[in-house]
Structure 1
């Protein structure tokens, strides 16, 4: 990423997202402006303030996982495995013993997986079982699965991917709240840039649509109460918005050192040109309205790739659909891009696939990489009434054909995390 260093490119993309399955289904859905938000079906949500979510119609067995893999792993790990399988197949790489002559050295293959809440669904379901739905304070361990320990440690996701692809290099879990997906990809790119790996399987996964997660966000009134119209409940940057829609999903990318990819004739989606993370050290859930920390992250990420603000053609926004975040992010883009902010295309795919906490950053990077490769910017769905304090071009409702040489994907997370990653056309630089 840094000028003069080893260059990092994306050669494979895999996606598990609400309303679709796989990379192409996901792309078709978001460029059509279709939404996947609906009333929660995983449990009876009637006691909650927010009763809608963006659920994935997911069955690991039908998507290639074995019965053993499904039994021992939480849903978030299963989705990461399916997304990783697609990404690796897309890259054309083969791993492990018996692979092709150009198979990467296992010691030079790493894994970075992001997750905000880990095995939330498995842990909650197990507690229900051992306590007989909360009836007993002293729980009965006989009713717990023997794989409960895997649900307790978020590292189980990175471990499963490392074992699956025989990756003997660095294997890391990144858990920085809602920026986990950006940070996992950014860290994976830095491993390659620093010479610690040639290939990194990087991404994020979360499956938080459970009673405990919904109760947590209900308490702080961060999620939408628009239960009457789930399809249009997520309205980033729109004056009518009243909170985000919970989601779930996974996206995994194959990151590769540029010369390594060239030597095997790999197709390249884009280059990871810069990444930066900042913390506002301000408030666990609050954001300063000036957006200075996100602006600093954007500026540092652009500087890494020697990219001027006026080169940015698209910003994939965090765009959660809360007033605080939308206004903070708008201010940050104005501060970091200057006059370019008024003409840059900026959109939020959370309007269609919801907010899958730690996973969404990687899902948004997948969308951004496809936008750079295919010259189409996905829209912000459900946008109808402008907020006077959010006055940029949010690509309302309809995808836009546009050549994108440089794109930003940005995110905010509880704890004050602010992250930015820059993706650029691989032909932008010749050396």
Structure 2
């Protein structure tokens, strides 16, 4: 099955800078955007660091009505989608709205809006019986994740299929995969697809504190996210959004569009095992990788770079290392592997889409982002993790993977336009 969809527009709102160019500059410089939480007083919590976006919705042109209606996750998503549409050259009209679909991935939906409104109606949690009249009139929109997709659809004037994908930390990857499937089936000519999450709130921090999944390295926020390092002690919570304009490759070429990369294969598996546990052999992720490679008609040794899930938890890093070895064989020891979560944290459902943006830009520029803060690799993580410094290298084919609570394992293969198996 030929599965080739072109990425013709990219929009990113991520920690460390606003827009796709700032995002790429941060990654290639190896700088980190992790810091002490500023959105609320983090002192009561075990983990007090995060990767926050310096995002000013008013400066981005959101109206007072939109700010009243939209959760921060929706604002980040709409801003990224607008950038992607403008970047694609399709933002000036001429598209039949019925030919445009929207797919949005999100793990936790409108968390910040829901928590803020609960705090308001309950007087900071002091009242058990709450008065709903103190809430904003759009509280229901915060409650249903479909509001995120609706906001993006309105922003890009899409009247085709509109959907939400929520599969934990693979939501971004899975949303892009779903959008590609819609195009392949003929459900529209253009897809605006991506993911958004803004989870840096007391309830989210408390939840991850309870299972000790996040780092306690509070005295050194810039170096707290340490995937594959012996001293890592959990991930750094983040936020952000990335969106793409996707279209069939032939359509993109016909209109003379700039193509960053093509999406050649996508597959997903579930371990049906445990909500947070991962088997050490990495079998399910390896099966997703193998299926995505088969769909892309590429061999393991065609892969030039692996964008790792690389969350910085011992269980995930070792599981993922085993999966790469199992699926790529001997080539696993030759191919560069890195985790951008070392620089921008883990934005839950959004991160898979943000990592796809990093992969497309790696193909565009032939540069591999590094794994920041990697000082002393875990002996069980013995691959080439590109420590600290970006690497210039021909990058025609890239594998990106994700792992999510609930046992979700996803893999996607991207390639340079016209790239073939070597």
Distance 1:292 1:85 in 2: 38
From 73, 78, 87, the counterpart of 1:76 = 73
| Corresponding position of 1:158 | 149
Give the stretch that moved more between structures: 241-250 or 66-75. Answer: 66-75
| Corresponding position of 1:90 | 87
From 301, 305, 309, the counterpart of 2:292 = 301
* Residue 9 (str. 1) matches residue 2 (str. 2): no
* Residue 291 (str. 1) matches residue 308 (str. 2): no
Query: For the Cα contact (< 8 Å) 1:64–1:82, is it kept in 2?
Result: no
Question: CA offset at residue 193 of structure 1?
Answer: 1.3
| Corresponding position of 2:246 | 255
Distance 1:74 1:160 in 2: 10
Question: CA offset at residue 94 of structure 1?
Answer: 2.8
Aligned 1:172-211 pairs, distance under 5 A: 172-211=163-202
Task: Point out 4+ residue stretches in structure 1 off by more than 4 angstroms.
Answer: none
Deviations 1:324-377 (A, max 9, x none): 000000000000000110010110000000000000000000000000111000
* Residue 56 (str. 1) matches residue 53 (str. 2): yes
Query: For the Cα contact (< 8 Å) 2:82–2:156, is it kept in 1?
Result: no
With the length of structure 1 as denominator, give the TM-score of the two structures.
0.96
Aligned 1:300-319 pairs, distance under 5 A: 300-319=291-310
Query: For the Cα contact (< 8 Å) 1:113–1:184, is it kept in 2?
Result: yes
Length, aligned pairs only: 421
Aligned 1:13-412 pairs, distance under 5 A: 13-94=10-91, 99=93, 103-412=94-403
Question: CA offset at residue 312 of structure 1?
Answer: 0.2
Give the stretch that moved more between structures: 190-199 or 298-307. Answer: 190-199
Question: CA offset at residue 429 of structure 1?
Answer: 4.4
Deviations 1:216-264 (A, max 9, x none): 0000000000001000000000000000000000000111111221121
Distance 2:312 2:113 in 1: 28
Structure 2 residues not aligned, in runs of 5+: none
With the length of structure 2 as denominator, give the TM-score of the two structures.
0.98
Question: CA offset at residue 104 of structure 1?
Answer: 2.7
Q: CA RMSD in A?
A: 1.0
Question: CA offset at residue 25 of structure 1?
Answer: 0.2
Deviations 1:187-238 (A, max 9, x none): 1111111211211001000000000000000000000000010000000000
Distance 2:343 2:155 in 1: 31
